[in-house]
Amino acid sequence: MKKDLHPSNYRLVVFKDMSNDYAFVTKSCVDTKESITWEDGNEYPLVKLEISHTSHPFYTGKMKLVDTAGRIDKFRSRYNKK
């Protein structure tokens, strides 16, 4: 392996979804100025997220349904081969 390829500040970091207060710990080298005391009593750097897998519409199944039937019918009627 090449020397000095990987960052030296790779450590445990808490990522917190601010929309639903879900938090998880994983390894990262992201820079942050905030910290939080985790459930195990240790203090870890904190990264605040706007959206995570617990609040993203794709993963929660609460997607907005767009009615495209009108558009499809217009397309077919316009470009239908006669």
Q: Quick: pLDDT tens for 38-47.
A: 999 999 999 9
pLDDT digits (tens, 9 = 90+) for 53-68: 777 666 556 655 445 5
Range list of β-strands (E), 3-69? 11-17, 22-28, 35-37, 43-49
pTM, to two decimals: 0.63
Please, what sign has the CA dihedral across residues 15, 48, 34, 38? negative
User: Which is more confident, 37 or 5?
Assistant: 37
Percent of the chain topping pLDDT 70? 77
Residue with tokens 């609040």: 55
Six token digits for residue 17: 């979804």
Strands 43-49 and 35-37: antiparallel
**70 phi and psi angles, rounded to 5 deg:** -65, -40
